[in-house]
Structure formats: structure tokens, C-alpha cells
Amino acid sequence: MNSESTVPPHNLESDRGLLLVYSHNGTEFSDVEFNNWYDEEHIPQRLRFPGCNNASRYQAIDSKYPPWAALYHTTSSDIPESEEWFKLREVASDTERAILARLPIMTRSTFTLSSFHRPPESEPTAGLGTGAGKVICIVHLQVTAVEALEQTDLETSFIRWYQDFIIKGVSKTPGWIRSRVYNRHDGRDMKTTPELKVAMDSGMLVIHEWNENGDAMDVSKQESNVSAQVQIWEKDRRCKVTRETRIMTLYKEW
């Protein structure tokens, strides 16, 4: 069940960086023990770090692993890659050290905001996009040239098409409040899987968000349609698009 949130609206324009962390408590810890540590110690400590604007945690509703994701929005993508940020581990409690040592999956990557898309001011949902989305679709993307276009030209063409065509289509689904496009900045694999590493190393990340009126089934249907459209684009340009998507629901925001 999702936690209630009383987080006040924040300035989305200052969220230029993103730290995305996937985790899985496996059988080592109960959900209660894992979430108590994450919610009461781990995230609050990082929110006190200068430049960390807000954070949210999501739980999978797509039956994929890992089941948990945390998003930290920062003023710059350099912040969660700084020596000072990683020094937080040096002051970690015994509880945090024990949990981090035994988690089966805990992997992270940082991203820089490339473009921001939200409803026009005239739309009914325009004023609802100042908090974390209640349902999100995280999309990891990597386009690779096989022949014809040069890699740089291909990436530019793909991003333009994705923004002008795919995001435009996604924006018509009920409850949509925003889509953000990111470029990968850096990453450090702590504990991961081969499949998750491919996703986290992808050069492009898109996060679509819906409010409480968004329906997860609508998101899933839209995702199937997008998948078909990407395959057509891929075939027409004789390239390879690596794509991994996650559909998750808000657990808690700060």
C-alpha cells in the first residue's frame, strides 16, 4: 500500500540532476525492516546534503526485478557523484552497513536533464505536476548504429523523434503530468545483474509520470503501443534500439 504524503510542492526547474537507484531486499530482510531503514535513515541523511532537492521511492507493479527504485532530484548531476556524497558511507550506522553488505541488488546511475515536457497551463492537469507522480514509467534507451547514419546523427534523430512523437502520444493518456528526458552522466555498479547493468549503462533515460487519476492499465497499454512504434523506427533506420521499461507506483516521497 502506498504511504500518504504531505510533501509541499517544489520547484521542478531546479531538478537538473537525477540519481536513480534500484534495490532488492531479497530474503535477507523483511519489507518492514528494509523500508524502515530506507525511509528513516538512508534517505533523510541524503536529503540534508546541499543540492539534494527531494526524493521519492517507488515499488514495481510490472512483476519485474528489482522491485524498488529510489529517485533523488538534485541541482546538478555532479552532486551524487562527489567525494562528499560518498563520504556519507563513512558516518553510516551499523544498521546501514549491515544492510548494504547483505542486499542482493543495489545499483545506481546519475543523469542530467535534457528536456522537460508537461501539459500547457490551460490543461486541467497543469497544476498537479509539482509533486512526485503516483504512477511512473521508467524507460532506459540506447540506440546503436548498424549501418547508414553515423552514431551521433542517429542519436539526435532518435531523441527528436521520441520527443515529438512518443512523448506527444504519452501525453494524451489520462492523468499524465510530465515526462523528463535525461542523458546518462555516470554510474557505479554496487550489486547488479547483467540485464540491469545493460539498462543502467544506457545513454538515455525517460521518466513519464501520472497523477492519482492515472491508470496503470492505461500506462501498460500505452507502453505496448510505444514498443511497436520503436520497432518500426528501428527497422526503417536499420539500427538497434535497446529498451528496458519499468512501471512503478509511488511508495513515499520527501
In this predicted model, what pLDDT tens digit does every residue of 76-99 receive, in sequence order? 999 999 989 888 888 888 988 888
CA 66-115-8 angle, to 5 degrees, is: 70
205 has pLDDT over 90: yes
Name which residue leads in pLDDT, 147 or 4.
147
Name the 3-class secondary structure at 193: coil
127 has pLDDT over 60: no
60 has pLDDT over 90: yes
Q: What pLDDT does 27 receive?
A: 87
Q: What pLDDT does 4 receive?
A: 47
**178-189: pLDDT as tens digits:** 999 999 998 877
* pTM given for the model: 0.86
Following CA atoms 83, 29, 201, 116 in sequence, which dihedral angle do they give, to the nearest 10 degrees?
A: -80
Residue 156's Cβ-side half-sphere holds a number of Cα atoms within 13 Å equal to 5
Q: What pLDDT does 53 receive?
A: 92
Q: How confident is the model at residue 173 (pLDDT cuts 50, 70, 90)?
A: confident
- Residue 3 inside a domain? The answer is no
Residues 227 and 134: their CA atoms lie apart, in Å, by: 22
Name which residue leads in pLDDT, 160 or 153.
160
DSSP string for residues in 98-129 = HHHHH-SEEEEEEEEEEEEE---TTSTTGGG-
Q: With 0-12 CB in 10 A as exposed, 13-18 as middle and 19+ as buried, what is 210?
A: buried
- Residue 1 inside a domain? The answer is no
Q: What pLDDT does 191 receive?
A: 84
Name the 3-class secondary structure at 62: coil
The distance from CA 70 to its chain's CA centroid, rounded to whole angstroms, is 8
Domain extent for 139: 12-253
First to last CA, the chain: 17
- Residue 239 inside a domain? The answer is yes
- Residue 184 inside a domain? The answer is yes
Average pLDDT of span 205-223: 76
State the residue for C-alpha cell 523523434: 161
Q: What pLDDT does 155 receive?
A: 86
- Residue 225 inside a domain? The answer is yes
Residues 110 and 60: their CA atoms lie apart, in Å, by: 20
- Residue 94 inside a domain? The answer is yes
The distance from CA 170 to its chain's CA centroid, rounded to whole angstroms, is 16
176: CATH: 3.30.70.100
Q: What residue type is 94 in one-letter code?
A: D
Name which residue leads in pLDDT, 117 or 1.
117
Number of domains in the chain: 1
Quick check: bond before 119 cis, omega within 30?
no
Q: What pLDDT does 100 receive?
A: 87
Q: What's the whole-number average pLDDT of the chain? A: 85
CA-closest candidate to residue 15, choices 106, 82, 110: 110
